[in-house]
Amino acid sequence: MFPSRLPFSNQDIPVSSGSGFIVSEDGWIITNAHVLSNKQHIKVELKNGMLYDATIKDVDQKLDIALIKIDSETPLPVLLLGRSSDLRPGEFVVAVGSPFSLQNTVTTGIISTTHRGGHELGLQNSDMDYIQTDAIINYGNSGGPLVNLDGDVIGINTLKVTPGISFAIPSDRIRQFLADSYDRQRKGRMQTKKRYIGVRMLQLSAAVSQTFHILHFVLHFCSAGLLNQDVIISINGQSVHSTEDVRQAVQSDRVLSLVVQRANEEIKLKVVPD
């Protein structure tokens, strides 16, 4: 937090800074929800130095993603979302942001792991699998893009634990947030309650998946009939390719028809998300 002084007053007010990136030419911007916490006025400064007032359009505190909007008279440059599910450890990435208000700062690193569970970071009730990177992320980087060498956004810079260990929200979660946000705003609805099926998942490596034609271990018992080390093969007739496929199905469908592999047999289950 940086102090700012009210006009005609000696009173200091807290001002925080963060980063973000434009996802549409008409001024829609993605950032972290915590960057906007308790903020009544938001200003956005673009790379060219132009300042805009911004309005908050949607916030998901659990995901720590927010969508804001600025009004520009001309089309704005945008960043494209890549597919975080295609990431592999060892790939080079670039973190872009404004740490300590130093604009247009770029740091580089590699992907350390693509699936670091929120529970491993002490984040209670988190179903997020974060991207771990050694790219340096500091105060003010939050909300900025983590991009691959093609320039596609594969995550939002979110959390620094120590130098060399930082975390980003995967772009696949951003894409789903944007789709859900568009649907809510089109229908004029407030944010819907998140649904859960009470399991913790581990995505298997590509080699294991191809060898056994399976995709996920379910790590914890569940009242819906899922058992430890069950493997989810399909949901409602659609093959499952990632943990994100499972999360999307849980949020979009009221009843799930699962096919799971348990030991050497396939079992069909009906699951109703809470």
pLDDT in tens, the chain (274 residues): 333 433 344 444 445 678 999 999 999 999 999 888 767 788 999 988 899 999 999 998 888 999 999 999 999 999 999 999 999 999 999 999 887 777 778 999 999 999 888 767 766 667 788 999 999 887 778 899 999 999 999 999 988 878 888 999 999 999 999 999 888 877 765 555 556 666 666 665 555 455 444 445 454 445 557 787 788 888 888 888 777 778 778 777 778 888 888 888 888 888 887 6
- One CATH from 3.40.220.10, 2.40.10.10, 1.10.10.60, 1.10.150.20 for 2-69: 2.40.10.10
Say whether 165 sits in a helix, a strand or coil.
strand
Q: State if pTM tops 0.95.
A: no
CATH superfamily entry for domain 195-271: PDZ domain (2.30.42.10)
Is it true that 2-69 and 84-174 share their CATH fold?
A: yes
Catalytic residue among 17, 19, 58, 64: 64
Which of 142, 166, 181, 242 is catalytic? The answer is 142
Q: Model confidence over 66-106: pLDDT tens digits?
A: 999 999 999 999 999 999 999 999 999 999 988 777 777 89
Active site residue 64: yes
Catalytic residue of the set 17, 19, 34, 171: 34
Active-site annotation holds for 142: yes
* CATH number assigned to the domain covering 84-174: 2.40.10.10
Q: What is the pLDDT of residues 38-53, one digit of tens each?
A: 677 889 999 888 999 9
For 54-88, b/e burial (b = at least 16 CB within 10 A) is: beeebbbeebbbbbbbbeeeeebebeebbebbebe
CA distances from 145 to 82, 200, 236 (A): 11, 27, 34
* Known catalytic membership, residue 16: no
Domain ranges of the chain: 2-69, 84-174, 195-271
